[in-house]
Amino acid sequence: DIMPEPLYDQPYVRRLAYQCSGYDAPLRAPCWVEMGEVYAKLHNYDARSVYHDCYEKSPTETDGRSCYDKGIVVLATYPLPRTSQQLLDICDPFVSSKEKYLGCLGSVFDAFMYYSPKFVARGITLCESGKHEYTEECFRTLGGRLRQFVPSLAERQNLCNSAVEDYKKLCAMDNA
């Protein structure tokens, strides 16, 4: 018999978190990585709730970061449509620090590229909707990741076609 899929409710998730916290360091880290996806399912892919639970319920800052790193991937590549606000919420906890915010965006863009370069449209939405002073660096980061995964300039230009005119070249990295 096949086991039924677990019901991702608070009691079930609390039991999983308790188990993760009980493991010694070598086993605890990967367990908390998977909690990022568990929290995403529990909270219907709400980034703020996933961030909160990863950092508030894990025993260490490192475990919280491992948890949210997985949360970033799951939230960014969620197969159903995402609004610009849902995308912005993924890195919003880091927006006050340019370095941390751009690091988070880099993780989001890596997730996009590993799943499909067609997620570039979400990256464009993130760059155009995010904090204005980070827009250029955001597109530069997106374009750099895209160039690593899509060697064809013509294909990159096509993927970046929906970007506002000022950032199309930076997105496609056709001047680098």
DSSP string, 115-158: H-GGGHHHHHHHHHHS-GGGHHHHHHHHHHHHHHH---HHHHHH
The SS3 call for residue 49 is helix
Which residues are CB-contacts of 21 (< 8 A; sequence separation ≥ 6)?
Answer: 28, 58, 59
Is the distance from CB of 117 to CB of 146 less than 8 angstroms? Answer: yes
Q: Which residue, chain included where needed, has tokens 């800052």?
A: 61
DSSP string, 11-23: HHHHHHHHHHHHS
Which residues are CB-contacts of 20 (< 8 A; sequence separation ≥ 6)?
Answer: 28, 31, 32, 35, 58, 63
Q: Which residue, chain included where needed, has tokens 């067609």?
A: 118
Is the distance from CB of 109 to CB of 145 less than 8 angstroms? Answer: yes
Dihedral angle computed from the Cα positions of residues 59, 7, 51 and 82, in that order, rounded to the nearest 10 degrees: 160
- Residue 44: both structure tokens together: 């219907």
Q: Where are the alpha helices (DSSP H) in 23-97?
A: 25-42, 47-57, 61-76, 84-91
Is the distance from CB of 62 to CB of 22 less than 8 angstroms? Answer: no
What CA–CA distance (Å, rounded) separates 53 from 39? 7
Walk along the chain (176 residues) in steps of 10 and give the mean pLDDT of each run: 84 95 91 97 97 96 96 95 95 95 96 94 96 95 95 96 95 81
Q: What is the pLDDT of residue 50?
A: 98
